[in-house]
DNA sequence: ATTACACCTTTACGTTACGTTAATGTCAAC
DNA sequence: GTTGACATTAACGTAACGTAAAGGTGTAAT
């Protein structure tokens, strides 16, 4: 049986370009060239191509494969062992890369979260200021700028552990809030626990605390839909419930 | 502080060619070009180069790095996660390659052993023929060529299981021989068991059996130092002991 | 005979991240 | 003025093909 490039290529599942390339580098030459210059392959070439494909699947370079298939007495086992060494070295290199990339991703996501948080906090501070305006000049004068400055400062100097503890507190708030809502009572011990956790969380965030700001923030959770959405993912009405609990907690409900 | 290509290259531990290339692909352009056409880098460029080197160590392509360092709002975490995906895929590919190469090496070495065995057997047959000449024409006429032909044929058609069983028998011969030698008596049951195992081994090797050939081979174990060495690794005198046991077993000792 | 279409050919650029000449210009020192 | 260490651009080479481009061949249908 004789084959042209395309027939042989289809048999082996490779392109005609590949066959021409293999001819070019002398790894698989056609049995003969016909009068029109066409490459004609025979059974021997099919066999050799199968060998080539086999070694190629093992990831050997064409140069190595050439040595193997062209010199009959070639030490194939040695070539394979050397190839294996290379593969193992490459895998070690990859393992190291993967570890480092994973570490970097972790750090980067930390940073991204930090950065998002920073934005979030900045936004929050701005809202607090706006809010305090509603509550009156005297409060803003007393806490406003000071809190903002301290908060920014605090946030920038926050350690990884502080950050983790802060996030942990944030989830605890959500969890406790979910439980507390089953009681339906913002004055219930569980609801007050949620308010207390929320206070701790604020303290971590801002590095300082004041009832007024706390109550102001709580009101904002209801007034600003962006916050409402955040807390209402626990359950509908969660933002309102938390505000009520905090107002009771801070004694600002009277 | 200002740097020329060489100074910056030394700082970062890279070649001047690399810096020119980075300029060419627009990943790190010098702060300015002086009147002689020299590239002059400043602090910003040092910082950017450090970033580039960092991502390069994580194995990212320069094209990806370019995106990261040239557009400030680029989603680095996403790029890293995608990169990680690629790395993990590449490692899976490597794992598969490694497994296949290991399997191939095992098979190849198996084949090498087969081939070595074949040579060994061919050599043995030759010796048997030579030996039979000593024992007389009539035996060679009767068994010689026939055995050789059959043996070759048999060996070539041997299945993997046959081969494994044969090797298993070979080790059993050595084990039993070691035990038998403690008795010191080639006529002892254990020594006769060794001789019997050896007969089975021969039957597996040759696909046929004759007392004469068996006894002839046993004598060879003593006469030819290559065989002597093989059996004497069990203990000194093992080849001689085995020959005596076989001579008794075959009844050729009288 | 012409035409269409599938097949064949060679030549050559593009891919990645530079290494390596080659040919040539610049700067500071002797 | 020359030397030697620097700088420049231009160019090829690397691995294993993919992808045109430009053109010849084989055969079946018109």
Condensed to tens digits (0 to 9), the pLDDT of residues B43-97 reads 999 999 999 999 999 999 999 999 999 988 888 888 889 899 999 999 999 999 9
Residues B116 and B27 reside in one and the same domain = no
The residue out of A45, A73, A101 marking a domain boundary is A73
CB contact under 8 A, B59 and A83: no
How close B95 comes to chain A (CA, Å)? Answer: 8
Distance CA B252, CA A24 (A): 66
- pLDDT < 50: residue spans in chain B: 119-120, 122-129, 131-132, 135-136, 139-140, 148
Residues of A in contact with B91 (CB under 8 A): 91, 94-95, 98
Listed in sequence order, the residues at least 6 apart from B28 whose beta carbon sits closer than 8 Å to its beta carbon are: B19, B22, B45, B48, B49, B52, B69
How close B83 comes to chain A (CA, Å)? Answer: 8
Residues of B in contact with A108 (CB under 8 A): 76-77, 80
Any domain includes B87: no
Residues A192 and A122 reside in one and the same domain = yes
Full domain range(s) for residue B107: 97-250
Query: Domain holding A21: CATH number?
Result: 1.10.1660.10
- pLDDT < 70: residue spans in chain A: 111-169, 205, 224-232, 234
Strand partners, A39: A33
Residues A67 and A121 reside in one and the same domain = no
Residues A157 and A226 reside in one and the same domain = yes
How close B132 comes to chain A (CA, Å)? Answer: 34
CB contact under 8 A, A105 and B59: no
Total number of domains constituting chain B: 2
**Please, are residues A240 and A222 in contact by the beta-carbon 8 Å criterion?**
yes
Report the nucleotide nearest the CA of residue B34, measured to C1': D7
Position A200 scores a pLDDT of: 78
Which chain B residues have any C-beta within 8 angstroms of a chain A C-beta? Answer: 57-59, 76-77, 80-81, 83-84, 87-88, 90-91, 94-95, 97-98, 100-102, 104-105, 108-109, 112
B-interface mutation test, from A101, A108, A114, most B Cβ less than 10 A away: A101
Position A249 scores a pLDDT of: 83
ipTM above 0.90, yes or no: no
> Which pair of structure tokens corresponds to residue A244?
């009520």
Position B194 scores a pLDDT of: 80
Any domain includes B90: no
Position A140 scores a pLDDT of: 46
CB contact under 8 A, A84 and B77: no
Residues A152 and A219 reside in one and the same domain = yes
Position B93 scores a pLDDT of: 92
CA of A66 to C1' of D5 (A): 45
Query: Domain holding B151: CATH number?
Result: 1.10.490.50
Residues B137 and B41 reside in one and the same domain = no
Residues A69 and A121 reside in one and the same domain = no
Q: Which residue minimizes Cα–C1' distance to C6?
A: A6
Distance CA B237, CA B249 (A): 18
CA dihedral of B177, B179, B185, B190, whole degrees rounded to 10: -80
CA of B21 to C1' of C20 (A): 14
């Amino acid at each position: 049986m004789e084959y042209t490039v395309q027939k042989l290529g289809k048999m082996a599942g490779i392109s005609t370009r590949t066959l021409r390339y293999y001819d070019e580098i002398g790894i698989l030459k056609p049995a003969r060239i016909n009068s029109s210059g066409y490459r004609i392959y025979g059974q021997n070439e099919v066999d050799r191509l199968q060998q080539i494909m086999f070694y190629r699947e093992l990831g050997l370079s064409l140069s190595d494969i050439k040595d193997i298939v062209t010199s009959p007495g070639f030490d194939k086992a040695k070539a394979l062992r050397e190839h294996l060494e290379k593969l193992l070295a490459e895998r070690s290199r990859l393992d190291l890369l993967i570890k480092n990339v994973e570490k970097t991703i972790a750090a980067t996501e930390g940073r991204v979260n930090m950065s998002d948080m920073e934005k979030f906090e900045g936004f929050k501070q701005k809202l607090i200021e706006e809010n305090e305006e509603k509550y009156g000049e005297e409060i803003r004068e007393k806490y406003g700028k000071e809190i903002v400055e301290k908060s920014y400062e605090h946030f920038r100097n926050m350690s990884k552990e502080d950050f983790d503890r802060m996030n942990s507190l944030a989830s605890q708030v959500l969890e406790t809030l979910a439980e507390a809502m089953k009681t339906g009572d913002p004055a219930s011990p569980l609801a007050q626990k949620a308010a207390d956790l929320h206070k701790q969380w604020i303290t971590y965030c801002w590095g300082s605390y004041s009832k007024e700001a706390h109550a102001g923030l709580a009101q904002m959770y209801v007034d600003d839909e962006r916050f409402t959405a955040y807390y209402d993912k626990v359950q509908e009405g969660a933002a309102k419930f938390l505000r009520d609990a905090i107002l009771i907690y801070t004694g600002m409900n009277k």
